[in-house]
Every structure is written in C-alpha cells, then in structure tokens.
Amino acid sequence: MARLVMKFGGTSVADIERIRNVARHVKREVDAGHDVAVVVSAMAGVTNQLVAWCRDAAPLHDAREYDAVVASGEQVTAGLLAITLEGMGVNARSWQGWQLPIHTDNAHGAARVLDVNGAELIRRFKEMKQTAVIAGFQGIHKETNRITTLGRGGSDTSAVAVAAAIGAERCDIYTDVDGVYTTDPRVAPKARRLDKIAFEEMLEMASLGAKVMHVRSIELGMVHNVRIFVRSSFEKPEDINPRANFTGTLICDEAEIVEQQVVTGIAFSKDEAQISVRSVPDRPGVAAAIFGPLAESNVNVDMIVQNVSPDGSTTDLTFTVPATDYERARITIEKAKGAIGYDRLDGATDVAKVSVIGIGMRSHAGVAAQAFKALAEQKINIRAITTSEIKFSVLIDAAHTDQAVRTLHTLYGLDKS
C-alpha cells in the first residue's frame, strides 16, 4: 500500500488502444492497493503538429501563446486516460497543471517547476481512493495566471515533481527501453541492464548522451530523493506482479546501492566538434576573451583543455562544442581574433567523446590510467582528456568510437557473462 507515480510518454499513449494498455498498467497497481498518480505526455505526433502550427502562424511567436497551444496536447491525453480508467471501474480524474496547481517560473517554453500542491491528491487518495491523471509538461505561472511548458522531456520532470509533492515511494517512468544499460547495446552487444544506478551517475549518463531520461528530472529526483524506476511500457500489464520483483533500473541514492562498482557505465557522444586555438598569448583574461563571445553567441562549450605553456609566452587552447554549433563557434572566434590575438584556428568535426562513469572512482586511484593504456593498445589516439570526481572523458577520432566503447566496457568488467 504505497503511493506511486507512473509516467507514460507519447508513444505509450499514441492512440486509444495504447491508452487502454496504459490504463491496464494503472489498474494493476490500483488493484494491488496502491495510491496512484499518473503523469502523461501528449499523444505521439500531436505536439509536433501543434508546434508546426505555431511556426506557420508566425516565425517569431510569443512563447506564452506557444505554451497555451502546445499544452493542449497533454490536456487531451489526461482526459482520455481518465475516461478509459473510469470505463474500467477505476475512480479517476484528470488534472491540468493550473488545476493542481503546478507552479513554475515564467520562462515560457522551458519553465522550471517551483512547487506542486499535492495536498488535494493525498486527500482524495485517503477519502475516495481516487487515482489522479495529471497532464505532464505543463504548469502555471502564479502571478500571470498563464500556462507554461517545461520544454523537452518535461513530463519526466512533472512526474518526479509530483512524486516529491505526494511523498511517493517510487516514480515509475515507463519508456521504450527496459532500463538503463551500462552502455548503448547497439554499440556494445555485451552491455547489460543495471539494476540500480546512483543519481549522480545517471546525471552524467544522461547529460553525456544516454537519452533515457531528461537531465532536469534526475536533478529534481536527487534533490528530493525521489526513487525513479525506469521500466518498459511494452511489457504486458498482465505479466507484471506489482508485489514481486520486476524488470528495470532504479535510480536512487548511492546509499541504497550496496555493491557499488568502480565503473557503472560508458557514455559517448558522436556529435562533437573540436576547435583548437593555436599560440594564444599566455596571459590573464585570454580565456575570457575566447569564451565570453562564445557564450554570447549561445555556443554550448563542453570540454576545455588548456596546457601549461611550454615557453611561458603562448599556449594552445582546445575546446569542444556540439557539431551543430561548430560553424557558429568558428565564426565567433574568427571575429574576436583581434581581441584574443591567436595565431591559427584548427578544427575537426569527426571527433567523439567517450566517458567512463562511476561513483566508485572517488575511492579508487588509477581508473583513468587503465583506460589510457587500453586505448593505446588499440592504437586509438586521445586528443584531449577531462576528468571530474566521478567520471573522465576522452576525445578521440569518431571512427574509433565503437571500438573504444567496447574496449572500455570490457576493461571495467561491465560485459554480461
């Protein structure tokens, strides 16, 4: 008899037949005695249609109006799922962001959840055993009384925020994969599903290219200690025993992970580009002269590597950006040449970043050194290296990405037996 949040994405609710399947998942948990809040996305394709209409209406559109239009998608799904549940004999009602309410800031299109009122949901759990069906992705700005949306992946964030508000034992994220893997199984066939992963590790996995969940939802889970269970929406509802063990990955506090491995997973990103600024004067303020203009141009800089200058006068500075930002970054740096005073600009778009992640690294020395040796044995050249407390990343030629991932996966004992 726990409180549960269940979240279903757009492909899981793409048509009435699939909504019915979702309802059976919900009914299973309700029948097991749980108090359930369901969070749903828009039916697959609906949001894209709404976005396209906004774009056609005016190329530069008011984000507040955009939000009013786009939020309608989740509103529809919430109502339809409530209807379906009631048709199955489950007491249910839909909630839109403004009804609950889910308060956000006023950054329309990418709003942040400020607070969620869970009191009414809890009252209805207790007094009438009513299941809540909540429109994800949306909220309301208190002062303006206008609808906001949370941006891409926002329904995950809605789900975790609701889970925090009602003190849910678990936030189940139903998705098209059956959990979080040690790395992408399409690249490393020996990748295996993790039973548990710590919030910090998942944050690194998510922001480094493992697209299971949105980064902000994991941050929120970490802050409020909401246990997030990533599981498959393709399992038949009837095949799951809600009281027994089930298949998926639990994202949780590291304290809950008894057998912590040194390395938990390997993430990678092929959409990287590298820019090297050669012979930059080695004096204070030069980094600001480079990265200030890039920030103004909205270029997302990731790795930054600056070596100690060999002669004390000039140095080379290398950084990476998403491949889509490459041209803009080059132009920005070329325009700032006078202010920076460099000699030459080198660049490459055929590079990839491979990252090794594990909370265990904090207490184990030499983890990165093993990787450098293993990659050298494979004749994979490392262009740049960055490290943090629980991960390190290497920049290599994109052509070697898969080989590097498999090598490291084996090296750290992640291969399934």
What pairs with residue 274 in β-bridges? 320, 348
Query: Per rule CB under 8 A, is residue 82 in the interface with a copy of itself?
Result: yes
Least Å from the CB of residue 19 to a copy of itself: 7
Whose tokens are 């990839």? That residue is: 352
Choose between 93 and 330: whose C-beta lies nearer to a copy of itself.
93
Order of strands across the sheet with 138-141? 113-116, 102-104, 138-141, 146-149
Segment contacting a copy of itself by CB under 8 A, of 30-38, 80-88, 166-174, 233-241: 80-88
Q: If we measure between CA atoms, which residue out of 394, 380, 306, 406 comes closest to residue 352?
A: 394
Binding to a copy of itself by CB under 8 A, coded x per residue (else -) over 146-165, reads: x-------------------
- How far is the first Cα of the chain from the last one, in angstroms, to the nearest whole number? 37
**Contact by Cβ (8 Å): 306, 415:** no
Near a copy of itself by CB under 8 A: residue from 60, 244, 255, 258: 60
Question: 179: which 2 tokens?
Answer: 């959990």
Near a copy of itself by CB under 8 A: residue from 96, 130, 155, 233: 96
Near a copy of itself by CB under 8 A: residue from 32, 44, 72, 237: 72
In degrees, to the nearest 5, what angle opens at C-alpha 14 toward C-alphas 12 and 19? 65
Choose between 62 and 296: whose C-beta lies nearer to a copy of itself.
62
Least Å from the CB of residue 159 to a copy of itself: 19
Query: Per rule CB under 8 A, is residue 51 in the interface with a copy of itself?
Result: no
Ranges of H-type helices in 250-399: 286-296, 326-335, 337-340, 367-377
**Contact by Cβ (8 Å): 222, 281:** no
Choose between 30 and 356: whose C-beta lies nearer to a copy of itself.
30
Segment contacting a copy of itself by CB under 8 A, of 94-102, 148-156, 361-369, 375-383: 94-102
Choose between 145 and 417: whose C-beta lies nearer to a copy of itself.
145
Quote the CA–CA distance of 153 and 159 in Å, as a whole number: 11
Near a copy of itself by CB under 8 A: residue from 18, 24, 93, 112: 93
Segment contacting a copy of itself by CB under 8 A, of 70-78, 104-112, 172-180, 393-401: 70-78
Query: Per rule CB under 8 A, is residue 14 in the interface with a copy of itself?
Result: no
Least Å from the CB of residue 147 to a copy of itself: 8
Quote the CA–CA distance of 265 and 184 in Å, as a whole number: 9
Helix (H) or strand (E) holding 401: helix 401-411
What pairs with residue 319 in β-bridges? 275, 304
Quote the CA–CA distance of 167 and 314 in Å, as a whole number: 56
Near a copy of itself by CB under 8 A: residue from 6, 22, 66, 175: 66
Choose between 46 and 197: whose C-beta lies nearer to a copy of itself.
46
**Contact by Cβ (8 Å): 112, 161:** no
Least Å from the CB of residue 162 to a copy of itself: 18
Quote the CA–CA distance of 168 and 222 in Å, as a whole number: 14
Least Å from the CB of residue 303 to a copy of itself: 39
Choose between 102 and 294: whose C-beta lies nearer to a copy of itself.
102
Q: If we measure between CA atoms, which residue out of 68, 39, 37 comes closest to residue 53?
A: 68
Near a copy of itself by CB under 8 A: residue from 78, 164, 171, 251: 78
Question: 54: which 2 tokens?
Answer: 């906004």
| Contacts of residue 32, Cβ cutoff 8 Å, sequence gap at least 6 | 242, 243
Count of residues engaged in binding a copy of itself, rule: CB under 8 A:
38
Least Å from the CB of residue 405 to a copy of itself: 43
Residue ranges binding a copy of itself (CB under 8 A): 16, 19-20, 50, 53-54, 56-62, 64-66, 68-69, 72-73, 75-76, 78-84, 86-87, 93-94, 96, 98-99, 145-146
